[in-house]
A and B are shown apart, each in its own frame.
Chain A
Amino acid sequence: MRIALYRLLAVLLPFSILEILCRQHIIKPLILPAPSRILFGLWSVIAKGTFNAAILKTLANVGLAIVLSIVVGIAAGAVIHRSRYLRALLEPLFSTYYAVPIYAFYPLFIVVFGLGDAPQVLIGFMLAVVSMIVSTLAGLDSVPAVLGKTARVMQLSPVKTLRSVTMPYAAPYLFTGVKLAVAYAFIGVIGAEFIMSGTGLGYEIRFAYDNLDNDVMYPLILLILVIAVAVNMILDHWDRALKSRRERG
């Protein structure tokens, strides 16, 4: 209860301070419109539907990047897990991957794939897939070797082994991987749209910024934050529910 109160305060306090500062014109509306105005703007942007195409485009690209990275990540993780050799070879890639500015490759992707959706999806996919691979590896590592042997002794079919031995152990790790993949896909796709593209939310924000159109820019930024945080919170909630069920079961 007290914690909920703290959280509420942490949201409301800065908002009200900003509101007052903006209304008093201590912060100029050219820099930041009052928060209430941004909220109202968000509502009217959604109600008018001017940006529905851009929103859908972004969500579709993010969705595609997520699905691709989960499927490819789990498959690649399973393959790499089988081969100690491959794993030793790829270990340096996993440990440095997120240190490399992936966006730096975006210009190359544009040159290679053109200015369609492919470069954005690819950036989202590239950011997301490695965390999925690493999580899959960690998940498969967590299955005790003796249980794998037991399954073989009992001559379980591969599907059955997967369902009753591998998944119960690996699932929490896979879920962590999915959570990371979702966050990275959002960051990658929107970032790519922002840097250079002709469609999507990132592009619209950039366009509004270039035109000093704060009444469009701030609501759209807020929309991205709300979507990203909401998706993250839903997955987190789900994760917790699964965990507590597992502990009780």
Chain B
Amino acid sequence: MMRRIIYAHPAPFFVVILLVLWQIVFWLVGPNALLPPLETGLYLARLLQTARFWGHIFETGAAFVIALAIAVVAGLATGLALGMNRTMAEAFEPFLLAGNSVPKIALYPIVLLIFGIGMPAKIAFGAIHGVVPVAIFTLTACNNVPPILLRAAATMRLKRWDMIRSVLLPAALPDIFSGIRIGFSLTLIGTILGEMFGSQRGLGYLLMTAIGLHNVHVIMSVTLLLVLVAATANALLLKQDRRLRNPGGSPQEPG
């Protein structure tokens, strides 16, 4: 009985286990370092009733949305440009993969020197984090499009743009969407990191000042909020992702 419930709904069950673990860790390390789950939730709820906190949220949200838009557009453009030309793809794919393994946080001072402290720096930093996975997934997606579709498009003498719009993009969409999903979370991380160093507003800034003041209440609540938002968004995107990959809607074992 229990087992069947877990198989059917692993996610809520997992959340319960996490909460229990959290409470146990709290008992172990004491109130100086952590807050228990319930208290964190209540404090977050209190924060969410203040206008100042929403100001920080909107600031982060605006930076994130713009950064994501830039990352997706630039990533798609790069991925498509490389994906449509074998030689280019072979020549530049290693650059993309290397870009993925670079700790981008080290680039932060450069971004800050170019853009100065404020919104543009945050956006740039978020976009830097998000653009690489979108480009890599788009490139891979283009390479995985069945060649027969491309040949059919060539036979029908489709113009380049028509070919992209009506053959390449639809065929590659599931993979591209996975890239956007991963780009989404990395852009969020990048934006928050950007705010931690070069900003006077936003959730990252709040986190950084709270670290400085050793304000465990704020650290825990903001962390909780970020994790909740990121996990929820990812779950929704993942659902859409699976739907795209499996349009018939027949349930399929993952993996």
Contacts and interface: CB of A to CB of B under 8 A. Distances in A.
A79 interface: no
Interface string A186-203: 110011001110000110
Contact of B13 (A89, A102, A194): A89
Interface string A94-107: 01101111111101
A183 B98 CA distance: 9
A104 B226 contact: yes
Contacts of A91: 10, 254
B211 A196 contact: yes
Interface residues of A, number: 58
B101 A232 contact: yes
B235 A3 contact: no
Nearest to A91: B10
A108 B110 contact: no
Contacts of A107: 207, 210-211, 219, 223
B101 A186 contact: yes
Interface stretch (A46-54, A169-177, A217-225): A217-225
Contacts of A248: none
Nearest to B189: A101
B97 A236 contact: yes
For chain B, which range describes its interface: under 10, 10 to 19, 20 to 34, or 35 or more residues?
35 or more
B94 interface: yes
A98 B234 CA distance: 9
Please classify the interface of chain A as helix (H, G, I), strand (E, B), loop, or mixed, using the class held by over half of its residues. Answer: helix
A100 B231 contact: yes
A60 to B, nearest CB: 16
Interface stretch (B42-50, B84-92, B155-163): B84-92
B41 to A, nearest CB: 16
Nearest to A190: B103
- Which of B13, B207, B222 lies at the interface centre, i.e. has the most chain A CB atoms within 10 A of its CB? B207
B80 interface: no
B255 A141 contact: yes
B19 interface: no
- Which of B188, B196, B214, B235 lies at the interface centre, i.e. has the most chain A CB atoms within 10 A of its CB? B196
Interface in A69-125: 85, 88-93, 95-96, 98-105, 107-108, 110-112
Interface string B2-38: 0100110011011001000000000001001110000
A228 B189 contact: no
B74 interface: no
25 contacts: A3-B90, A7-B94, A10-B92, A85-B6, A89-B13, A91-B10, A98-B182, A99-B185, A101-B189, A101-B193, A101-B226, A102-B189, A107-B207, A107-B223, A111-B219, A138-B255, A190-B105, A194-B106, A202-B105, A217-B109, A218-B110, A224-B103, A224-B106, A225-B102, A228-B102
Given A7-B92, A101-B226, A108-B219, 6 more contacts: A103-B192, A182-B101, A186-B103, A190-B106, A194-B108, A208-B109
Interface of B: 3, 6-7, 10-11, 13-14, 17, 29, 32-34, 87-88, 90-92, 94-95, 97-98, 100-110, 112-114, 182, 184-185, 188-189, 192-193, 196, 207, 210-211, 214, 216, 219-220, 222-223, 226-227, 230-231, 233-235, 238, 254-255
